[in-house]
Structure 1
Amino acid sequence: MMRLGIIGAGAVAGFHAQGIADIAGLTLTAVCDLNAETAGNVAQPWGASVYTDYQEMLTGGVVDAVVINTPHSLHKDMVVAAASHGVHVLVEKPMATTLEDAKIMEAACEAAGVVMVVGMIQHFMAEKLALMAALQSGVLGRVLMIHDYRSTDYRPGSRPDWFFDKAVSGGGAFINIGAHCLDRSLWIGGAPAVRITSSTLNRFGAPVETDGTMELRLANDVQLRITIVSDTPENIDEVLVVGERGTITADPRRGTFMKIDGVRTVLHTSSADDIQNAFTAQLADFHAAVRGAAPAVSGTHAKHVVELVLAAYESAQSGESVELTPALVR
């Protein structure tokens, strides 16, 4: 039985806790949060211990692995601490706020002989899996273009304060929401990016970017455009894929739909269980990785997402495209 702890009892901690309960061979033994009541709300249904100091939890000998679900800039120190105690890690995206931190995390885990997997939930969402199955069948031919359009809410007060503190979060909508968009679009596109051009907006008096666009060219010449907009009239979360013979859209609120030569096909209809099922599948993937399997998301891919977020910030500031050096991602 692998004993898991959760560090950070925020918005998705409940999904992690339920997923742990649903997988044979896993048990939730500890939940840590600076707020004991918040930690207790996640821990209580499963009889897990409550901590307010993650170091105390790691030294207590109560966990074999942890899920790190904390503000982005804290990931590095927490991963290094877990590794030093021989504890495996599933760390939420983005992996880190700098490439240097990401490399330190990888090196610490490798030296300690523990597994680190970066939580990229898009790879486990049913509507994205249906999209990928269609692409892999070859029915659309080669992917030519992707448009990823997602709404968010970056009005001050709409989310915890740390999201608006760049020293803690690493940035605004790009590093938070954009990391999801980059992750799934690179996966769908099938290659790393070699060029990125971006622009950002700072609305609502927010100290971090609230909106923006990214345009990327992938190494296989797929064109990718990502648009992130705050406070839209209706929530938007759609990936549109243009192939040689047709198009596919995927939306977690609706499903996955394909159209070829005027004929529309429903590939997946979304259900209320899809999000929980994705978190459970991600935990099962992590459990398998600890036992020696290759994880669904590689460390190389996770680092490339960080690299692209940082390059997007560079491009937005300079007004110029940023060419990506291939050494990191090949």
Structure 2
Amino acid sequence: MSLTVAVIGAGIIAVEHLDALKGMEELQAIAVADIDEAKAEKISEDYQVKGYSDYRKMIESESPDIVVITLPHFLHKEAAVFAASKGCHILLEKPMALTITECDEIIGAAEKNRICLMVGHIQHYFQENIIAREQIESGELGELIMINETRHMNYFTSGRPQWFLEAEKSGGGIVMNIGAHCIDKTQWLMGSRYAKVLSKLTYRGEVEGFSPDVEGSGLLYLETIDQIPVTISLSGYEGVPKHVTELIFTNGMMKVEVGKGVWISEGDAYQLVHYPKGSSPFKKQFAELTAAINRKEVIRNSGEYARSIIEVIEACYRSNKEGKIIELKDASLQRRSDPLF
């Protein structure tokens, strides 16, 4: 029998999840809820699921096995705790919550109600990142020395919902929303928790008719417990879009661009790596959650793992404010042998 899935939120990411559910034998989408009734109705018609304007009523009426939460960040904790209290397994979009305190409340609710909690750190399932991790583990390029991650995009667009640009609701700007992907991806690739953070942020974003109070750029210096240095450059101002991860080894270099390819250095030039395309990252994510529910397999993107990302982000804001390196208190000795990686 298929596990039933209900989605909270009817935005762009909800559509990604619903598309991924198509053709998955062990899962069946049954309902969607959004406070915007028109959005909920449109999704319900497009995907032949029931539509609700109140997610609480949806959960109580449908009793889904799994709830996918795709709400604004400030609503994550409330929705996750409620879903857990009703015995629903949870796939919660990133970032997990606004603070590590909220993360702890969600984790506590999941443990109390004995449900599976997965946080949607989707970078783990992109084929390019999988290939990069396999390359690191192979040791063919020698020892990993450092990583430089660059992510440039126009963050302050008129089409971005306003709550993204209000710190109280979003938790922050480009570091919280996009940086979460970068921090997660680099940490996961290395299989080692971050232990130190130094950051410099700018707050110069502008949107017509509104003054954002979130950061528009960030230059982050991070160091793992294995003392591997990582730089993450984030810019949300106008310019040429860029999303590149460069990994430096003792015997070569590797460049990763999600959706485009993986390149490995040969001599003084990069050569494209040929690899199978793989299935949808969202399908892979659902498959892992299903395996955890049905076969008690380990969830890599657990609440505990996702909490570590929020811990780093909080340290970034604190470092910028205090002008110093922040050492992470909760950075325990996690290695690839740990199921979190």
Q: Give TM-score scaled by structure 2 length.
A: 0.91
Identity %: 29
Query: 1:153 deviation in Å?
Result: 2.5
Cα pair distance change 1:232/1:252, threshold 3 Å: farther
Q: Give, in whole Å, the separation in 1 of the partners of 2:270 and 2:214.
A: 40
Aligned partner (choices 184, 209, 214) of residue 215 of structure 2: 209
2:289 paired residue number: 286
Amino acid at match of 2:179: G
Distance, in Å, in 2 between the alignment partners of 1:198 and 1:27 is 43
Question: Structure 1: which amino acid aligns with 2:316?
Answer: A
Paired amino acid for 1:42: I
RMSD: 1.8
User: Match for residue 86 of structure 1?
Assistant: 87
2:4–2:64 CA contact under 8 A, matched in 1: yes
- The one-letter amino acid paired with 2:38 is E
Shift of 1:154: 2.6
User: For the structure 1 residues 268 and 54, does the alpha-carbon distance in structure 2 shift closer, same or farther, using more than 3 Å as the test?
Assistant: farther
Paired position in structure 2 for 1:300: 304
Judge which range, 297-306 or 165-174, deviates more: 297-306
Q: Could you list the runs of 5+ residues in structure 2 that have no partner in the other structure?
A: 207-211, 335-341
Compute the displacement of 1:293 (Å). 0.8
* Structure 1 partner of 2:241: 235
SS of the counterpart of 1:287?
helix
The aligned counterpart of 1:41 is: 42
Q: Secondary structure at the match of 2:298?
A: coil
Deviation of 1:263 after TM superposition, in Å, equals 6.0
Question: What SS class does the counterpart of residue 12 from structure 1 fall into?
Answer: helix
CA displacement at 1:300 relative to structure 2: 2.7
| 2:319 alignment partner in structure 1 | 315
Contact 1:252/1:270 (8 A) holds in 2: no
Q: Could you tell me how far 1:186 is from its partner in structure 2?
A: 0.6
* 1:68–1:329 distance in 2 versus 1, CA, 3 Å: farther
Matches within 5 A, 1:46-65: 46-65=47-66
Deviations 1:205-249 (A, max 9, x none): 431101111101111111100011113432211111111111111
Scaled by the length of structure 1, the TM-score of the pair is 0.94
Give the SS at the match of 1:23: coil
Moved more, 180-189 or 199-208: 199-208
Q: 1:327 to 1:195 in 2, by over 3 A?
A: closer
Tell me, in whole angstroms, the C-alpha distance in 2 between the residues paired with 1:107 and 1:75. 14
AA matched with 1:69: T
Question: C-alpha displacement at 1:38, in angstroms?
Answer: 1.4
> Matched residues in 1 for 2:267 and 2:223: separation?
27
- The 3 A distance-change label for structure 1 pair 158 and 320 is farther
Q: How does 1:63-82 map to 2 (within 5 A)?
A: 63-82=64-83
Counting matched residue pairs gives 327
Q: Is the 8 A contact 1:118 1:302 kept in 2?
A: yes
Cα distance, 1:132 vs. partner?
1.1
Compare 56-65 and 207-216 and name the one that shifted more: 56-65
